[in-house]
Every structure is written in C-alpha cells, then in structure tokens.
C-alpha cells in the first residue's frame, strides 16, 4: 500500500463538525455499545481486541476511561504493556502478548502492545531493520491467527496528536498536582525523538496493515472519543449477534 | 462469634427508607468513587478485593454492572470462578485464586471465589466436615496474607435474597428471551438444596469472619447496590490516599 504520511493527516476534527452534536452522537453510541457488549458476552462467539498506540500523552488512558468506562466490567478488560520483565524477555516478543488476548465474549483493550517491539526498540536501536522486518511478519501472522482461529476482531487505533499538543499536555503533567504521578522524566527525552518515532509508526502502518490502522485525530478529546466509539459500534453492529436460547 | 442466622435477617431494605433518595445517594457515591479509584490507581499503595457470593440469581452480575460499571476499566478487573479445570484441580484450592488477586492500585472483583470450595463442595459432599475445617483455616490465613503483606483491603458481600425472589428470577430467565442464556438446568436442582446451602453459608460467616462478611439484603436491586457502593466508598475514603508527586 501507499505509505501513510502522518504530516499530511490532520490531528484535529474536520472544520465543519459541530462539537456539541458530535458529543451527543458519541453518548448515543456508548449507550448502544452497552447493549451490544452484553449481547456479545451472552453469545460468546466473537471477541474484540482494541489496540491503542500513540505518542506519550496522546490520550490512551483517557480513551479507555471515556469510551470503555461505561461498559460492564465483566465483559471488558485492559492489559497495559510496560518494560518487559526478565521472564518476558526470555521468551519470544509475542509470548506475553498472546497470554493477554481476549477470550470469546470479551473486549480486551491493549494499552500499548506488541507494536512497541517495532517502535521504542527501533528508535533506540535495540532492534535493527532486519529484525524489525521479521517482527512485522510475525505480527501479521499473529493477528491473522487471532482473527481466523478465534473470531477475534482487531481494531488498531493510532492516536494522532500534534507536537504542540503533546508539549502542552506534558507541561500540564508537571504543573497539575493531580497529574504529576503520570509524569516521567523519560517523556521529555522521548519527545525529542518525535521525528524518528513518527517514521517508525509510518513503517508499522505500511507493513502491518492487513488489519488496517485507524489514524485517529486526537488533539481534541471529544473527536478522538467519537472516532473510537464509532469504529467499535460499527464493528459490533455488523456482527449480527443474537442472545442464545436456553442451553440444551 | 455468635452464629449469624440468615432466617433472622431481612432480605429487604429497612421499611422507612426512601427509594428515590437512596438511589440519588448511590449516584453521588458512585461519582465520588470514580475519583477515589483514580487516586488509588495513581498512588498504587493499596488494593481492594471485592468478593461477591450469593445463591444463584442473587444479583452478582448486576452488582458488577451497576456499582463498578462506571469506573475506569484500567483500575477495575473481574475474575469469575467457575468449575475448576483439571490443571486447577491438580493444585491446592487456593492456587487459582491467588493468581487473580489485585495488584497495588487495582480493584478486583471476584464473582464467586474460594468460598465455593466450602459451599457447593460441601453441599454435594465432595468435601467432608474435617476437610472443610482445614479449608476454613487456610482461607483465614490466605486473607490475612493479602491484608497484611500487600495492603489489600477485602470486602466480602453475601447477597441475601429470599427463596421467593430467587424463584421469580429463575422463572424470568426462562421466559425472557434476552436472559435465557443465563439459565442453567442445574439452577433448579441447586435451588432445591436451599436449606443446606444456607447452613453452609452460615458456617462461612461463623468461621471465616476475621475479614467480616457484609450481609447485603438483595431482594431489591436499588438497596443492594446502595449497600455495596457505600461500603466501598467508606473503605476508600478512610484510606486517606494522596496523588503522588513527580517521580524522583
């Protein structure tokens, strides 16, 4: 496919879009999602894997809270992938990921994911281009396994923020007492690697797009939440799920 | 302690209680809980284990949905314990339970729990009185381990319904198309064992009460939800949690 160029894609909602109307739409979608999720849980045939990627402060935590925060916790779970442990490093890079995929009936949210193994690792040169290529192939095979063999529907969101918006949010983490716990010295160091991170993300989009990426303009939370809710809603709506009858 | 007699405890809200006012109170508690939970997650010092037990159709699923359904899924997770797998049975009865306890910062809800190992197993005589006594001792030690060594605060709810209310709800599972998936032939068989289940529950309350049980009148969902929300709120409020500052 043609290479996606992040610089050419707006980080903001389309100009004409009415904010209040969109927020009302999102609220309706969330309300319907509650019922669709219950149906999926009851039917236990499909599962959904939501992958959230994006630069630091791109709004991954907020997306989880706002879009998935009103669903039944019995049907939704979150896995956050941080620096791998020694045990995890002693396995292939998909080992810790595979353990966390959703079982039938569930929505699993990955807060960061196996994509970090071709992002942060490449930026810091812990993984060379040849290794990255092998990993991309393995990722495609892995996503294909989940999709084909367990009715797992994968939604991959790249939360697309501008450098200016990131700067503003990182500064707020320092000045706002209730957000300081989220601040990490590394955030500023990583922020300086902005251009190379963007290039590595574009590589992901190009080479791991069999399950397509949804590039989500994320400078405005209301629009980001709308895009995520809408994609999830379209997916679930399209599955034509039914409540099962009495077990025989 | 004196034996708790379930027959002496009402399954309904106190007579004088105003339903609408209580529901409004609950909504306020839930809104404050959202903030308290975020604080606990940020501080990552304490964790909460909520144990839900009760007869079939006593409203465990509904409690999870209504009381925990508005919280940030990143800080709440549910573990449901069903019939043990062969691998689980090849270990001690607390092995599968221990794997699911909350890490610091998290609220974990157990939909059924290790108490089934002295409930359903005793009712069906898969476990004799001497074994049950050993298990009760192990459960007390285990709960003490979590409480003392990892700041895990345990809330144990027995959802207390009347036999009439259970019957009504089981019948609804058969007649309501959207609830049929919850129905299980065994439910009716188990329901006939009502008296012996009650006795086994009373044994739990008597012998495993170092972390006290909260007997929750559960015939009316609005009151049940209020009791659970209030207990959780009091607990979290009392922990005097603070947002941590910038990491050094």
Q: Is residue A152 helix, strand or coil?
A: strand
- CA-closest candidate to residue A63, choices A158, A197, A191: A158
pLDDT digits (tens, 9 = 90+) for A11-33: 999 999 999 999 999 999 999 99
**DSSP codes, A94-134:** THHHHTTSPPTT-EEEEES-GGGGGTHHHHTTSS-HHHHHH
d(CA A43, CA A24): 29
A65/B181 Cβ within 8 A: no
Mutate to test the interface with A, among B30, B72, B107 (most CBs of A within 10 A): B72
What mean pLDDT is predicted for residues B101-124?
Answer: 96
B64/A178 Cβ within 8 A: no
Do B71 and B107 contact (CB within 8 A), yes or no?
yes
CATH 3.40.50.300 fits B19-237, yes or no: yes
A176 touches chain B (CB under 8 A): no
A174/B247 Cβ within 8 A: no
d(CA A172, CA B123): 58
Q: What is residue A192's predicted lDDT score, i.e. its pLDDT?
A: 87
pLDDT digits (tens, 9 = 90+) for A155-186: 999 999 999 999 999 999 999 988 888 888 88
Homologous superfamily, domain A38-238: P-loop containing nucleotide triphosphate hydrolases (3.40.50.300)
What mean pLDDT is predicted for residues A119-128?
Answer: 93
- CA-closest candidate to residue B59, choices B200, B171, B157: B157
On average, the pLDDT of chain B sits at 94
Q: What is residue A1's predicted lDDT score, i.e. its pLDDT?
A: 67
A247/B184 Cβ within 8 A: yes
pLDDT digits (tens, 9 = 90+) for B155-187: 999 999 999 999 999 999 999 988 888 888 888
B103 touches chain A (CB under 8 A): no
Virtual CA dihedral for B12, B16, B17, B20, nearest 10 degrees?
Answer: 120
A-chain residues near B61 (CB < 8 A): 74
Give A6 to chain B, closest Cα distance, Å: 28
B61/A178 Cβ within 8 A: no
A72/B73 Cβ within 8 A: no
A100 touches chain B (CB under 8 A): no
In this predicted structure, the answer to whether residue B131 has a pLDDT above a threshold of 90 is yes
A243/B178 Cβ within 8 A: yes
Minimal Cβ distance to A72: which of B65, B182, B184: B65
**Residue A39: which residues within 8 A CB-CB, separation 6 or more?**
A241, A242, A243
């Amino acid at each position: 496919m043609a290479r996606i160029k992040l610089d050419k894609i707006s980080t903001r909602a389309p100009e004409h879009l009415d904010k209040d109307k969109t927020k009302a739409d999102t609220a309706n979608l969330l309300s319907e999602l509650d019922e669709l999720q219950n149906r999926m849980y009851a039917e236990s045939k499909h599962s959904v894997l939501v992958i959230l990627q994006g630069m630091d402060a791109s709004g991954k935590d907020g997306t989880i809270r706002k879009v998935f925060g009103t669903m039944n916790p019995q049907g939704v779970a979150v896995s956050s992938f941080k620096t791998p442990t020694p045990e995890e490093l002693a396995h292939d890079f998909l080992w810790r990921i595979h353990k966390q995929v959703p079982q039938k009936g569930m929505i699993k949210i990955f807060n960061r994911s196996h994509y970090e193994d071709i992002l942060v690792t490449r930026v810091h040169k812990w993984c060379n281009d040849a290794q990255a290529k092998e990993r991309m192939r393995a990722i495609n095979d892995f996503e294909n396994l989940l999709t084909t063999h367990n009715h797992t529907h994968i939604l991959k969101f790249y939360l697309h923020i501008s450098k200016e918006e990131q700067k503003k949010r990182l500064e707020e983490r320092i000045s706002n007492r209730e957000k300081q716990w989220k601040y990490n010295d590394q955030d500023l160091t990583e922020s300086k690697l902005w251009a190379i991170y963007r290039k590595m993300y574009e590589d992901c989009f190009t080479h791991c797009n069999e399950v397509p990426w949804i590039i989500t303009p994320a400078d405005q939370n209301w629009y980001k939440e709308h895009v995520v809710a809408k994609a999830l809603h379209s997916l679930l709506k399209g599955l034509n799920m039914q409540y099962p009858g009495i077990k025989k």
